[in-house]
Amino acid sequence: MELNNLRRILQKYEEGETSLKEERDLKEYFSTNEIPEEFVAYKSIFNFNIDAKKIEYKKEILVESVLRKKWALAGIAASILIVMSFLFFNDFTNNKLEDQNLGTIEDPEQAYLKTKETLQMVANVFSDGKEDLQYLNEFNKTKNKFIKDQ
């Protein structure tokens, strides 16, 4: 490869505009030992893949799929445990409530009296809230006086 052509292709390479064929030609050119001194820096760039292929990793690699299987099994076991505990405790609390027989009055007169008492308590709570609104009405009257004066 002539030097002018080499400079032009290297310029394109630095700008990121080379084609794959041009990059293969550069790699092939720099794999030879006859390189002008001004292009020695490029030799390590294009020969990196050749050197990298020689590197070996001897440590055993744990495949990711084995880890995924372990986590999947742990997730399944946790799901089963959650469902079983929900069923156990839900059944346990339902039995407790059924044993207490809450909210059921057999006698209609007693049921009427209890309902009346409950509704009276609700009415008292609402009337307490209505008394607090009297303060709000007084505040509005005072506010309106100030607004009319201005």
Over range 50-68, report the average pLDDT.
71
Q: Give the residue extent of every domain in the chain.
A: 3-53, 57-102, 105-150
Q: C-alpha dihedral over 101, 103, 105, 111, to 10 degrees?
A: 170
Q: How far apart are CA 96 and CA 40, in angstroms?
A: 86
Average pLDDT, the chain: 79
Q: What is the mean pLDDT of residues 140-146?
A: 79
- Which pLDDT does position 116 carry in this prediction? 93
User: What integer pLDDT is reported at residue 120 of this predicted model?
Assistant: 92
pLDDT (0 to 100) of residue 130 = 72
Calculated CA dihedral for residues 107, 109, 110, 116, nearest 10 degrees: 140
pLDDT tens digits, 10-38: 888 888 888 888 888 888 888 776 788 88
Helix (H) or strand (E) holding 24, with range, is helix 20-30
CA torsion through residues 27, 32, 33, 36, sign = negative
